[in-house]
A and B are shown apart, each in its own frame.
Chain A
């Protein structure tokens, strides 16, 4: 029961982890990308479209599908889709100096629209009765467990039974922590986010860092959408199912005080909170509805506590949300 609860929490938390790792990398460059919810939709639907086409090309027969391609095609499509969204965002905010909040929100509108439109179109093509597309074959490749996982009892279930995107999320978060804190690129990136004028004077190419950080961040966030469809929803896409996870991912950035390693813990905790209502015994349906606000209430409490403590180390990048124009100093 407890093991199951934790596994479920991890499964629910991984899209948030991808989203917040991506957003942390973007925010470290000084750009607040509120388009992440839309980008996660696009990442999900691009992957879904890719694997849909591949499944059809294989005649919907699992025997014809190569496991490598079945995983790689959605993965690549997802990355391409979300990087394109990241490029739109960075072109508007870095090159055209557009307002970051407005650009991000418009991108979210666009991304959710794209997701729902393409999703509905694919559903149209399959002519299915249900308002969803089932890519269970592709999903089964994504969900392949390590072969010895079920032989190791609870240990196996807790640590080894997850889909590979879960491990990838943790690896990405750890790598991001390392790169941000221990490498020159990370140092430069943080400099760009803290004080772009100084970074520029030191010879760092500010626009380039911001472009790259936003695009990498978008790609990572998009994978979160893909993980949601392929692993959590077992390959079933239905419109608007992804819900508000993108916003929770952005909130998680503050929870994790801009540290990807803390985001790992935070996302699993959020996953647990999202799921708590199903595991607490003896709740009526009406109390369950109230329990569903738990993650949001906790986010608010975290926001308040971090702002009250006002710790000098746990601050957002100093120039977060401010566009950099070299001639304006």
Chain B
């Protein structure tokens, strides 16, 4: 710098942030899982602090709280855990194509609620009329449609008027919640509770009532991986996500892609709602999804749009969520402690991306040379 004489630069800043060239994926995942390992130590320390037990003991409580006595062949807890993982994974998978398109679908909760409501209505109104296979088919079709419609409404406005989708989908959640409240009032007969309906439940395999749910989600995971990675539509989604102008230039109908992708996203959320109603609760209430819609957004992002990595991440986060809640429970504390911990872990994972995309260089220690 020849003309820098007037500006007296005494010192370079101590730290300098430099953008990295792409870090090899393997190394990037090492950083992420390293962060997870650190966060597991922190979780242990926090849990020790609130429960007063030793590090090993808290992890034992967590493990027992999540898996139960699996070594003695009792698999009930394991299946319950897998069911939780599967439901969150289903929502995260549903959101993934939309996110890849940079469409912030915050409405998973509402779309799943509408899907669940459709399943519930079918179970109550058509349960005695239709034969079992037909009923299951009708439940599947209606809940897919209900979820898709709930996702399509914001998508159409986004495609044509560029309406802010984050808030639109968010508001649709609350509208769905109120519709459920309305339905519960009509059907619940004053108590606002619908008793579990026996018609149209998914079959149990042996004593395992969650087998169907988990299988369905596994199939969706594989299909979603193939769809995003190898199909033409998956390619279109990623182009629209990277740059709408590029997409237009190479002849992709952006509006069509937005609407189609959100229909898929909503439909999968609807499927999740159906799994929750027909495969788990056999009833419905406004807390059916329990705020998992937001967690699913984070999970989809943590999995970097890869369904299999997403599954691993969700398995870990769900372990933390249930396990820490159990630790708090045994210490007679409120189980919301686990959402604090989950929040901290996710924030750490979000923060660790910095070290993947940027590197920090220290100031060179040699003397400044005047140019």
Contacts and interface: CB of A to CB of B under 8 A. Distances in A.
Interface of A: 34, 38, 88, 92, 96-99, 101-103, 105-117, 119-121, 124, 239, 244, 247, 250-251, 254, 285-286, 289-290, 292-293, 296-297, 299-300, 303-304, 307-308, 310, 325, 327-328
Interface in B284-309: 294-295, 297-298, 301
B295 A124 contact: no
B336 A286 contact: no
A244 B167 CA distance: 12
B297 A307 contact: no
Q: Which of A105, A111, A120, A254 has the most CB of B within 10 A?
A: A105
A289 B19 contact: no
Contacts of A121: 333-334
A102 B351 contact: no
Given A120-B333, A296-B174, A327-B19, A303 B343 contact: no
Contacts of B174: 244, 247, 293, 296
B339 A105 contact: no
B350 interface: yes
Contacts of A38: 343
Interface in B354-371: 354, 357-358
Contacts of A88: 347
Interface string B40-54: 000000000000000
Contact of B336 (A116, A250, A299): A116
Main secondary structure of the interface of A (DSSP, over half): helix
Interface string B329-346: 000111011111111101
B19 A325 contact: yes
A292 B167 contact: no
Contacts of B162: 307, 310
B343 A109 contact: yes
Contacts of A299: 167, 171
A303 B170 contact: no
Contacts of B163: 303-304, 307-308
Contact of B168 (A34, A117, A286, A303): A303
Contact of A103 (B157, B175, B182, B347): B347
Contact of B358 (A97, A108, A124, A239): A97
B23 interface: no
Contacts of A106: 298, 343, 346-347, 350
B351 A109 contact: no
Interface string B150-180: 0000000100011110111011101100110
B185 A117 contact: no
Contact of A105 (B294, B336, B340): B294
B351 A303 contact: no
Q: Which of B301, B340, B353 has the most CB of A within 10 A?
A: B340
B185 A286 contact: yes
Nearest to A309: B161
A285 B354 CA distance: 51
B18 interface: yes
